[in-house]
Structure 1
Amino acid sequence: MEAIIMAAQLMLGLSILVGLHELGHLLAAKAFGMRVEKYSIGFPPKIWGFQYGETEYSFGAIPLGGFVKISGMIDESLDTKNLSAEPEPWEFRAKPAWQRLIVMMGGIIVNVITGIVIFITMTYNNGESYLTKEALNQNGIYAYKLAQEVGFQTGDRITAVNGQDYERFSDLVNNEVILKENSTFQVLRGDSILTITLPDGFLNKFADKKEYDGQFLGARQPFKVGQVQLGSAAAKGGLEAGDRFISINNQPVMYFDQLKEILTKNKEKDIQATVQTEDAGEKTLDLKVGEDGTLGFVAEPLLDFSHEEYTFGESVNKGTEQAFNVVWVNIKAFGKIFRGEVSASKSLSGPIGIAQMFGGTWNWDKFWGLTGLLSMVLAFMNFLPIPALDGGHVVFLTYEMLSGQKPSDKFLEGAQKVGMVLLLGLMGFAIFNDVFKALF
């Protein structure tokens, strides 16, 4: 069922983004009097469609992209049979270069607008919840496997990052810190002050979802018992919502990581727990740990999160900044990949990896957040100067406008073929890489 939900979210998200992207091309083309023959969400074979005016609108069976076919344009269809004749006034090739440039930029512009609108709307509707430095350092950080490897310990209190004070926990794990070479953290451990530097090769490990699951630093979580499952070991042993663990088998338990470690070591064993009830009383319970290392209750975190609401004007500024930050991060990440600092196989994801990002449960906030992010990524990827992508057309049109000379149809056809080979190769690599990471 989880796989179906992942696939459904991926298909819906891509259909929205691809549909809007191709709509940008279509609307711009029609605005300049160009004939649009086909508009498709998804690639052939066609599963459904209809004719309206001069344009056929359809859905394809392969939901990994889409296209518009504009008369007189050399595109990925490589349909050049009519290009030897004189151009008709309604053909793409008959229009001025500046109009053709706007048509090719139409999809990118719509994706940028879509991403910005999503980020603004989410910021305005949801506001922002965050953990302050002070709230984080009340309990310290939780060091995941990768953090432990670079020198962190659970319970460390971080006082500065890259020599600067910080306000929120998110400032410690944002892309500026992760992508910066050899970022440093000032850490208070007991009475000692340490400096931990992210080593060379850290980003490669951070990108390794198989080994580290994208986890680095977390906030250490005090907790209380939330919902107790009926018939579970917790219910049978007398554990109730609102209880807080004091110890298990005489080992102190204040944080969720301590509970998880003890339960993992005691799978299918009897344990004795001392808990504090909601009325500040204490009780001792005999509990049986399940074979999966759980007792059968939901842990309710007790972290002191702050929340901030934003006016519409503030949301516009913040949402726009978040949207363009996605582009900036992608530029920096691609730069590191091309310089060989980060492995492409670990950092690039195809459709399977993207589906896994959506997750196996349907959460609308997460869905729209990822869709907004993907909209900006799609705009960035399409702007790359690769033939067969919008960016390749933009390069050729810009050359034409600056030089006054249009590249020959033969050259453009050859460039499209090269671009298609590159894109198919990249898509094949991404899909194979997803499968390889899933299996191995």
Structure 2
Amino acid sequence: MKNSKLTVLMIVLAVILLVTPLFTSCGPKAQPGQVLKVGVMTPSTGPVPEKGIPGQHGFADAVEYINKELGGAGGYPIELVWRDSAYNMEKVGTIVQEFMDSGCLIFATHSSTEMKAASAKSNPAGFPGLAAFISTINLHPPTHVYGPTPDYGDDWVAFAKYYMANIWKGTGKPKMALHGLANPTGLGSKHGAQAKAAELGIDIVDIAEHKISTIDETVSLQRMKDEGINVLFISSTPAPTAVIINNARELGMDITIGCASASFGTALIDLGDEAVEGVYGVAHTASWNDDVPGIAKAREYCQKNNPQDLNNDDYLSCWTTMLVMREILAKAVDNAGYETLSQGGAAAWKAVEEQGIMKLEGYNAEGLVGGTIRYVGNGDNRLDNYLRLYQIKGGKAVAVTDWQEAPLIKYEELEWWGK
């Protein structure tokens, strides 16, 4: 009798041991303290808080959504390590070093200018990074820096093609001027024009630069007016862009105005008021009015946590960038394992890049991008290459094109690159 009871007990214990892994595998993989650290910097103070603060909120709210509703990345919660760059490039290298020292696996900057400063520290270490808004100089030649979207050169090319096909009705070549921020934001659009203006039949007659603190650009615009320009393209941030557009209106310039993605959006509409009516712009992410799952979630969390940012494009761009980073980390967990990532340092960064970023394919970021998030290689570190053009009508940005692909331009192979 005792032997039979012992036999039954042993069978029961054996069954429990066999079944337990089946149940535990269905639950969260992460144990207490097991997280995936992500570094993020935004210019939340300094000269561009109108961009930095909503961007900061977009990153943070996306992490809350990811951890609460998506189970983190690969079953592990994301821990956000956020720092304010104050748009001070002297601080950026220190921030990147802090990210690396604290065990971050990947990092993001809000702006292309932050990323240019950051890459001096991150690239030699092999520490991968994404910039929510990215320029040609960040991506060419390819390094450990990636763009979740097209770059500012792509913005210029897309607008120029639209202008030639739908707006320009004159004879000969239209005269275009560029007005760019004196940093990678302005430089990217200049690169696009240098690469493609002649091919598209556009005469670039003036290239002006401005500071982020500018309050008047009448002198440069008067020169452009005297040159008889037909079209002006601005690649900047919202506040300087509003100054330039207001000055152009005050000078009575009857021209078409287009803007790169960092210039355009709700902040420009708020700052420029009636002066920005009719202005064109480029966007890389879905509109707040689009009926896609990602917009519904972004709207839900924005209304709950930061209702003042509702309909803000920087919030949405940074939210989208964080979803892309989550997909990268999920791939890295699946392909390299949490143990590899948990060690931090160069081996973990290499795993994130080779087993995460380079394994991306077919991810639509819940409908927030025009194409799909994927890695194609061959010199293309843009993880999505679709964009859309808008025009400000009645105080709102209205789409004037569908999503369109931005072909890769290999700037580093052009004779003038780097000179």
TM-score, normalized by length of structure 1?
0.20
Question: Highest CA radius of gyration, 1 or 2?
Answer: 1
TM-score, normalized by length of structure 2?
0.21
